Chains A and B, each alone.
Chain A
Amino acid sequence: MQGLALYPFDPPGDIAALRTDLRAWLAVNQPQDDIVAKANCWASFDPDFSRALGAAGYIGMTLPARYGGGDRHPLQRYVVIEELLAAGAPVGAHWIADRQTGPLILRYGSEEQRRRYLPGIAKGELYACIGLSEPGAGSDLAAVRTTARETAEGWRINGQKIWTTGAHLSHIMLALVRTEEGSERSAGLSQLLIDLDTPGIIIRPIVDMAGHHDFNEVFFDDVLVPPGALVGERGQGWRQVTAELGLERSGPERYLSSHALLAAVIDSAGPDPDTAVAMLIGELTAEMWTLRQLSMSTAAKLAAGEDPMIEASVVKELGNAFEQDMPRRVQAIVDCGWDDDTDLAKLLRALLIASPSFSLRGGTREVIRGIIARGLGLR
């Protein structure tokens, strides 16, 4: 059996300079007042930061210049993303638009859609949310029931999305809807790009167990969007969403978004920690190093135009487990009170509470393992 070969991670250009410039930029521009925002940082919304980041050229990097993008190589973007995550930068506002909605519009969207949305995305001003989950369609995404009927004026949408992260702060939703009456499962689905200020859309908050308002439920009551809202091919929504999920699952955020906690553990341990703490740091380091190698190889494979569906799922599964275990393992070893007023305590508390979501968002652990099992030829 041929083992896994690493795809060489070899971005063009001066990568050391790219890192140095971005670190210098972050030293000036990253807000430092909220330590908890550094944990799980791609859920931290900060539109001011996103705008500044966009103005500095670090958003929409791979989009063509004619749409306001940076014309950069995907692996240069990868370097920027991992630097932002490792620094705990609050990238949540633009995260989804930059990661998946922008690339999807570029790939499947009309010229009009590209001109209309991509420049705002690249500026860090236009935010997107993902319209996939519904009350009856969670892990079983093909059970989507929200409908869009074609009329003379455009698409008429009725239904409901749920668990929509950032809908209340976003300008657009890329939604998976059933456009073909009587269709079932993955057939008859299409993607619509919906301006969230369209009349008939109601967005209601769902407060999570950390007390945060990230989630929403989004209701569509006879919402009329123009014919040009269709993205890509009518009836091909399932195929397009699968490609979108590939982008969603393959990135370094699956192991790096809680790096602030590991850095805080190391800093609080000092240069000569006791043996148990030293061993914990060593174990977490070994896992993180390995995950980074896997993640970089997956990104390189994606950049080479291949489909790393299985590798991306492996990174997500191992990365989620790493991030979920880290706060638990830290709590087991490091003496730290629940209400302590230290950076370490605040990060630890925030991540212990946030961590159950890590193996739910972007595909549950069970779904991801099922994808890997299919790759192994078991189903």
Chain B
Amino acid sequence: MADEITRRKFLERGIGVMAGAVTIGIGGVALTSIGAPAVTNKLEGKWVEAGSASDLAPDKFNPVGLVYESKDGWMEGKSKMLAYVKVSGENILALSATCSHLGCNVNIDDSTGGFKCPCHTGVYDAAGKNISGPPPKPLKKLEAKIEDGKLMINTMPKEEA
């Protein structure tokens, strides 16, 4: 019988199985915990008060820095982000400054009223739509409202502009 399991073969396979099981088991635990925050460490949207609405110049984009309490893994502290807010009469347009390409903060382009990314020269129009360069999508829209004269912005983007 060629495939008869001899004592030697049994021992050899036993070593392989035991070493493999321990490696996969312990390695699996370590790798799972390393990777887990990718799924569990979610950024939560928050309404943040962003100063007085009367400070905003009307009919043009104003850079508005948002500082808010957040939880990031073990750390509870302040997070920051940037929004561009334009108030035209009753309408408020708030855009996240994060470029849809690779995450840099875009700048206001005074000549067009739109935005330019300082990283890879992405260009957006005044509605936040990507018009040239590498950005694949428009800037993201943020929910915004004015309550008792205070500008309130939700940090979690709702949709693309």
The yes or no verdict on A and B being binding partners is no
